[in-house]
């Protein structure tokens, strides 16, 4: 999945609409403190979590496969960071880490079991003995209507360009492969009335609790904890995020 086209809107849109997800920072701070550095962050994007962990004094090695997302991160000029443009299934770093994590359901961008196993095996090879991996998984990706026709999501001022952005979203669920495919359209209207449209496709794979249990077992990770929210709470039938903390066997 390539986030280059989305990068220019990412931080702005996150602040605008992702009210629940922004609570996630609490658990990454707690886990980073508990398991310590050096830390490996996969799918770091523009560094939303990274910058907060660096403020806490951590040294972080980050990976993402979007040049544009990484350019935004680099422009933040953060200290104590090493940045690599690479894929989470194939990256190679000549060192091992105590703690690795993947935030914002980003592991679910891997749409096949083969890719997921390749990624977990790769992370395994980059962890120290007894090293810990954590990731948040949205267990409800494929809930709800199978098809959402093009629907207005929001209209908001986009101060970076002195423009207005209207976002339309649509989706389709592939029930056989348990994947939800979104098609988002950003219509940006400049002050002089000029229009620019950006189309973005995002797909995420459903990963149930049992599926993740088997996947971690197969890849030789032992589950230490599964939290049902970003405050280290228990898993309930209403949990929107499951935060897995697993240890290299």
Ligand X SMILES: C[S@@+](CC[C@H](N)C(=O)[O-])C[C@H]1O[C@@H](n2cnc3c(N)ncnc32)[C@H](O)[C@@H]1O
The nearer residue to ligand X, 153 or 164, going by C-beta atoms, is 153
Residue 43 binds to ligand X (criterion: CB under 6 A): yes
Among 49, 73, 200, 242, binds ligand X (CB under 6 A): 49
Cα angle for residues 38, 213, 204 (degrees, 5° grid): 80
165 contributes a contact to ligand X by CB under 6 A: no
Establish if 66 lies at the interface with ligand X (CB under 6 A). Answer: yes
Does 64 bind ligand X (CB under 6 A)? Our answer is: yes
Q: How far apart are CA 165 and CA 154, in angstroms?
A: 8
- Other CB atoms within 10 A of residue 240 CB: 13
Nearer to ligand X, 164 or 182 (CB): 182
Q: How far apart are CA 68 and CA 66, in angstroms?
A: 5
Two tokens, residue 6: 């989305």
Among 31, 32, 88, 123, binds ligand X (CB under 6 A): 88
CA dist., res. 110 & res. 188, Å (int): 30
Ramachandran sector of residue 80 (left: φ over 0; alpha: ψ -120 to 50; beta: rest):
left
One residue of 72, 78, 87, 148 binding ligand X per CB under 6 A = 87
Q: Does 122 participate in binding ligand X (rule CB under 6 A)? A: no
Q: Which residues bind ligand X (CB under 6 A)?
A: 1, 3, 43-45, 48-49, 63-66, 69, 87-88, 103-104, 106, 109
């Amino acid at each position: 999945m390539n986030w280059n086209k989305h990068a220019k809107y990412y931080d702005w849109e996150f602040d605008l609409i992702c009210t629940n997800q922004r609570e996630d920072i609490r658990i990454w701070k707690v886990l980073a403190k508990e398991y310590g550095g050096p830390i490996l962050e996969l799918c770091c994007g523009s560094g939303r979590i990274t910058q907060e962990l660096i403020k806490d004094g951590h040294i972080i090695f980050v990976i993402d496969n979007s040049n544009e997302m990484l350019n935004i991160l680099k422009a933040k000029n953060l200290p104590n960071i090493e940045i690599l443009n690479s894929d989470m299934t194939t990256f190679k770093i000549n060192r091992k880490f105590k703690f690795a994590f993947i935030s914002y359901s980003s592991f679910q961008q891997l749409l096949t079991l083969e890719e997921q196993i390749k990624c977990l095996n790769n992370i395994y090879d980059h962890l120290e003995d007894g090293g810990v991996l954590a990731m948040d998984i949205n267990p409800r990706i494929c809930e709800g209507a199978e098809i959402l026709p093009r629907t207005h999501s929001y209209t908001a001022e986009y101060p970076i360009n002195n423009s207005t952005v209207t976002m339309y979203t649509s989706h389709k669920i592939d029930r056989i492969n348990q994947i939800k495919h979104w098609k988002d359209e950003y219509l940006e209207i400049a002050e002089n009335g000029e229009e620019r449209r950006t189309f973005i496709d995002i797909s995420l794979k459903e990963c149930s609790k049992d599926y993740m249990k088997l996947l971690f077992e197969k890849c030789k990770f032992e589950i230490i904890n599964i939290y049902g929210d970003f405050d280290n709470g228990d898993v309930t039938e209403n949990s929107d995020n499951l935060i897995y903390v697993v240890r290299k066997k």
